[in-house]
Amino acid sequence: MKKFLMPTLGADMEAGTLVAWRKQPGESVHRGETLAEVDTDKGVIDVEVFHDGVIDSLLVGPGTKVPVGTPLATIQEHGELAGEEVPAAAEAAGFQTPEAPVGEPATTQADRQARMRRAIAAAMSRSKREIPHFYLATTIDAAAAVAFVAAQNDSLPPDQRLLLGAVFVKAAARAVREVPEVNGCWRDDAVELLSTVNIGLAVSLRGGGLVILTLRDPAAQPLTSLSQQIRDLTQRARTGRLKASELADATLTVTSLGDRGVDTVWGVIYPPQLAIVGFGTVARRPLVVANRVEAQPAVTVTLAADHRALDGHRAGLYLTAIAEHLQQPETL
Amino acid sequence: MPAPAHRPLSEAAVRAAVAQTLRQIAPEVDLSAIPDTANLRRECDLDSVDFQNFVIGLGKSLHVAIADRDAAGLVTLAGCLDLLVHCHSATTD
């Protein structure tokens, strides 16, 4: 028997409220299918199952708020003997209300805004309290990347066009191969480096607040599909509905100010991650090109890193690696 | 690229398509309160991702192929009308 748990969508999430079940006991579910709708500080999220099987029992009723990790349902896998691996806590039949409900579900937009601000406050305060940040910056010639995107987009239909932001994300993910120390988390007084690179992309929401969207293994994705994914996730984050898997498991965060922002962003690390990369707005700047000062598209890239996990030398090499990838955008 | 539209687009059709597309991206925006010459990205707080989604949605809604080099001109309602009504052939190759 598999437990279907209240997911954790980042260090700032403590609990979620079950809004609705999409399936009932006895019905089949398939991996990736939405089983429940859950209200969180990041809005209402569709929570998918990770196994094929049959719903055995639903343990939590709509309107109930439970801490992350709480079993919400049990799923019997195909071919499985009944009763296998049933956790003691999930054996109680029927719906149960947790002994210490964290609070009432919020419903209004203002409530949701307030909850999101509190969640951001908790995560960012924890970050600044616990993580000894240090900061590095470099200004990179962006002419090659800008020209590459324009040339590609000239012959592509609108829904396949590239985003410069996707090029930045992919360069940041690729550069982890050269400096893996930026990708992972700090846990139990030790660095835990991760082999998978999932980039968390910070996206501002209309009317305030932000979410970190998860781009899974962007280093392996073509720029076209990565751009489509960023457009789809961003639009759904702002006006629609996200899935739990689209908000979980990021290993390194990127914040990009887009083309209407300012020169430089100094990020605050999203715990328990080790670093955050910031891309400022691309703008024409005086750069020295072939011994002459030229007006070139340039971008200031920053890194805020956890000094417990890495030092300035390696962090600097990571930014240099991003710069090198951006000089050869056709290899991304 | 999608096949170019051969029928002329009316101003009303373009205005309706702009409004409908913007509603999906910036639902709280009241387009009627925005002058035709105002910068939609500034007025509606659209970032580069939103703007690409706007260009995609507008092209789909009107069944026209909008070239990337023309997309920047769609930043005002007047620019949308200019490109999609008055110089419609400019949007197709």
Q: Is residue B68 part of a domain?
A: yes
Question: What pLDDT score was predicted for residue A217?
Answer: 97
Q: pTM for this structure? A: 0.86
Q: Nearest CA to CA, how far is A259 from chain B (Å)?
A: 6
Q: Tell me how long chain A is.
A: 332
Reported as a single tens digit per residue, the pLDDT across A233-278 is 999 999 888 999 999 899 999 999 888 778 999 999 999 999 999 9
Q: Is residue B29 part of a domain?
A: yes
Please state the rounded mean pLDDT for residues A174-185.
97
Beta carbons of A234 and B50 less than 8 Å apart: yes
Q: Is residue B80 part of a domain?
A: yes
Of B79, B36, B31, the closest CA to residue B55 belongs to B79
Q: Is residue B77 part of a domain?
A: yes
Of B70, B64, B93, the closest CA to residue B83 belongs to B70
Question: What pLDDT score was predicted for residue A70?
Answer: 93
Q: Is residue B2 part of a domain?
A: no
Please, which residues have CB within 8 angstroms of residue A68's CB and are 6 or more apart in sequence?
A5, A6, A7, A8, A13, A14, A15, A16
Residue A18, beta-bridge partner list: A38
Beta carbons of A239 and B67 less than 8 Å apart: no
Q: Nearest CA to CA, how far is B16 from chain A (Å)?
A: 20
Predicted confidence band of residue A112 (pLDDT cuts 50, 70, 90): confident
ipTM score of complex: 0.87
Highest mean pLDDT among A9-13, A24-28, A102-106: A24-28
| Chain A residue nearest residue B55, CA to CA | A158
Q: Is residue B5 part of a domain?
A: no
Predicted confidence band of residue A207 (pLDDT cuts 50, 70, 90): confident
| A158 closest CB neighbour out of B27, B41, B55 | B55
| Tokens encoding A249 | 């498991």
Q: Is residue B36 part of a domain?
A: yes
Are the C-beta atoms of A252 and A172 separated by less than 8 Å? yes
Dihedral sign from CA coordinates of A152, A158, A164, A165: negative
Q: Which of A57-71, A81-95, A182-196, B76-90 has the lowest mean pLDDT?
A: A81-95
CATH number of the domain bearing residue B58: 1.10.1200.10
Question: What pLDDT score was predicted for residue A41?
Answer: 80
Decide if pLDDT at B5 tops 90.
no
Mapped onto helix, strand or coil, the DSSP state of residue A197 is coil
Beta carbons of B2 and A163 less than 8 Å apart: no
Is B90 in CB contact (< 8 Å) with chain A?
A: no
Reported as a single tens digit per residue, the pLDDT across A45-68 is 899 998 899 999 999 999 999 999
Q: How many CB pairs under 8 A join A and B?
A: 61
Rounded CA gap, B65 and A146, in Å? 22
Q: Is residue B34 part of a domain?
A: yes
Reported as a single tens digit per residue, the pLDDT across B26-62 is 998 988 899 999 999 999 999 999 999 999 999 999 9
The number of beta carbons lying within 10 Å of the beta carbon of residue A5 is: 16
Rounded CA gap, B29 and A97, in Å? 41
When divided into structural domains, chain B yields a total of 1
Decide if pLDDT at A89 tops 60.
no
Is B68 in CB contact (< 8 Å) with chain A?
A: yes
Its domain, for residue B50, covers: 11-91
What chain A holds in terms of domains, given with CATH numbers, is 2-110 (2.40.50.100), 131-331 (3.30.559.10)
Reported as a single tens digit per residue, the pLDDT across A130-151 is 999 999 999 999 999 999 999 9
Rounded CA gap, A166 and A223, in Å? 6
Beta carbons of B48 and A165 less than 8 Å apart: yes
CA dihedral A10, A11, A17, A22 (to 10 degrees): 20
